[in-house]
Structure 1
Amino acid sequence: MRDGSSDIVHASSVAVHGFAVLLMGVSGSGKSDLALRLIDRGHGLISDDRTLVHIKEGRLLASAPPTIAGKLEARGLGILELPHQDDVPVALAIGLDGPVERFPLEEKELTLLGTSIPLLALNARAASAPILVEKALDREEAR
């Protein structure tokens, strides 16, 4: 982990309670839709579809690449212009591609730029998905 290190990950990202949650999945997996539902619940857009992760002062942070800052694709409507946040500490990754275990037996992690963060699997299209993201982050903060 070296200050100045950066990478772009295929993830939408939202600031939830001051921490970045990376919503990861293939195109069509519901990243933007879940991000929009979280924004509707009062959270802030960081970036849609691609997120710049970088190390600054020893912390893993999330920002929008400049070319897409403040833009979110809403299928059927087009590109929305929204306020966005930069340099938000990354706390959690949500995988939207794989199966969702009823009771996960082991905790999973994702390593980005030498930093490990918790990785959970959720169904982005479930009505409860925004609430589950908030609860998962609350659980991680309590640890």
Structure 2
Amino acid sequence: MAVLANITAVGVAGRVLLIEGQPGSGKSALALALIDRGAILVGDDAVSVVRIRDTLLAAPPPNTCGLIEIHNVGIAELPVTEGPVALLLTLDPAAPRFPMDIPVRDIEGVPIPMLPFAPGDAVQALRAEYALELHGLPLPKGDEKA
């Protein structure tokens, strides 16, 4: 099992959405917006991952399981989940408006779709859900977790 740093992750309809960015870039803010829409926290600023066959599974990191930093508020404790990784959003203010090709990043030997993603506007959670639907890997067969 490996731990990915500077990655926040949430479970959305059984798949895990990874959110990558520098400290202060908005990872936790996007995660909170998604949680407000029904997502479940996997990990904030670190995520444990393990490859099982052709699937990358993400789980809460043991040292910060269930904890998320809320900017200007403090640390909150939330329920957590785990599941198959479907998409990596890379927070980038210069992300292209219309992505033409979706690159992949190899994580633990599993190619994961990687989408540059502009952070910070009011509808970022809705945009992230559409990104997952349009560009994310499907659930592995027989896996229907939240």
Same-fold call, TM > 0.5? yes
Q: CA deviation at 1:8?
A: 2.3
Change (3 A) 1:55 1:142: closer
Sequence identity of aligned pairs in percent? Answer: 37
Partner Cα separation in structure 1 for residue 93 and residue 16 of structure 2 = 21
Q: What letter is aligned with 2:127?
A: L
Partner residue of 2:32?
36
CA RMSD of aligned residues (A): 1.7
8 Å CA contact 2:10, 2:39 repeated in 1: yes
The amino acid of 1:95's aligned partner reads: T
Q: Does 1:129 pair with 2:139?
A: no
1:23 to 19, 33, 42: 19
TM-score, L = length of structure 2: 0.87
Unaligned runs of 5+ in 1: none
Report deviation, 1:139.
1.3
Asked if 1:90 is matched to 2:90, the reply is no
Quick check: 2:57–2:85 contact (8 Å CA) kept in 1? Answer: yes
Q: Is the 8 A contact 2:20 2:90 kept in 1?
A: yes
1:118 corresponds to which of 109, 113, 117: 113
Q: CA deviation at 1:140?
A: 3.0
**Residues 142 and 109 (structure 1), Cα distance of their counterparts in 2 relative to 1, 3 Å cut:** closer
How many residue pairs match? The answer is 138
CA-to-partner distance for each residue in 1:30-63, whole Å, 9 max, x for gaps? Answer: 0001000100001100000111111135420111
